[in-house]
Amino acid sequence: MKRSSIIGRSSLMVEVYTNPGEEYQIEGSFAQRSCTIFDAEKQSVAEIKRKVDASAKVVLGKDVFSLFIKPGFDGCFAMGLVLVLDQINWIHCL
């Protein structure tokens, strides 16, 4: 895991290695619920975004977000990554 800071903002870059040849990178800010999961070929396979109430055009709280998964990517694995990111983010908030 790498942590970078850009003018008051901090973001995490997490590298996940599963089976040989499989590699994933998570870039963005999970604290802001805005990050993307990339595969080894740098193709986006999942995204975490804050949920928006379309009728009121209001961004909901940070604890309300959506996980968008591309076809063919394991949803259980993606949710596992979200849980790990949540734990990492919780530790950084202490």
% the chain with pLDDT above 70 = 73
pLDDT at site 70: 96
pLDDT at site 69: 96
* 40 Ramachandran zone, left/alpha/beta (phi>0; psi -120 to 50): alpha
Contact 13, 26 (CB under 8 A): yes
HSE of 14, CA atoms in CB hemisphere, 13 A: 18
**What's the whole-number average pLDDT of the chain?**
78
Average confidence (pLDDT) over 58-62:
78
